[in-house]
Amino acid sequence: MEETGIHVEVDELTGVYKNLTRGIVALVFHCKPSGGTERTSSESTSVSWLTPDEVSERMSEVFAVGPWTPWTATNSRA
């Protein structure tokens, strides 16, 4: 559970994405919701469930390249 109030089961690390120009390294994990209640916090202003297309439309340019390849591959196993 992080800033969303949702508890998750962490499955596996699916990618490491770097933007060294901006000093950002993102570790991306495949997770499944397992409980909790959606809520905002001091780190979030809203909580939403989105489709991959909706996420791409809203995603910051810093993270726009990369995360969907492992997400798509992981979800295709379901």
At 78 the pLDDT is 43
On whether residue 58 sits in a domain, the answer given is yes
Unique residue bearing structure tokens 């439309």: 57
Quote the domain boundaries for residue 11: 6-65
**Is the residue at 74 inside a domain?**
no
- Per DSSP (E only), the strands in 5-72 are 6-19, 24-36
Closest C-alpha to 29, from 78, 67, 61 = 67
Give the model's pLDDT for residue 65: 58
Q: What is the pLDDT of residues 22-52, one digit of tens each?
A: 888 888 888 899 999 999 999 888 888 888 8
pLDDT of residue 9: 94
Is residue 75, in this structure, part of any structural domain at all?
no
> In the chain, how many domains are there?
1
